[in-house]
Amino acid sequence: MLEKMNPNALLIDVREPEEYALGHITGSQNIPMSDIPHWAKTADQTQELYVYCKAGVRAEQVALYLKDEGFTKVTNLGGLEELTDLGFTISQ
């Protein structure tokens, strides 16, 4: 998965800031799930997006929401633990 990702895509961690501060994928941007609707109003709907959270549930909800709002390139990466198993680097 890691080697197939577009390096110009936006990697979004939809967890709360406290969770993000404990460890997140290097290069990701923290946009909590509750802030996604506001963020989506001004975001480029054609930008390629990858979303993740702790276990994948919030990321799935956000991915579905963004697709419903017209975003065309959204991928749910799932949960943080499985992403580290796939070789993603964690920063704190």
User: Which residues are identified as catalytic?
Assistant: 53
3-class secondary-structure state, position 66: helix
Strands 10-13 and 49-53: parallel
- Scan for tokens 């890691």, then name that residue: 2
Residue 28: which of 40, 15, 12 has the closest Cα? Answer: 12
For the beta carbon of residue 85, count every other beta carbon within 10 angstroms: 9
Question: How far from 83 is each of 44, 55, 56, CA to CA, in Å?
Answer: 25, 10, 10
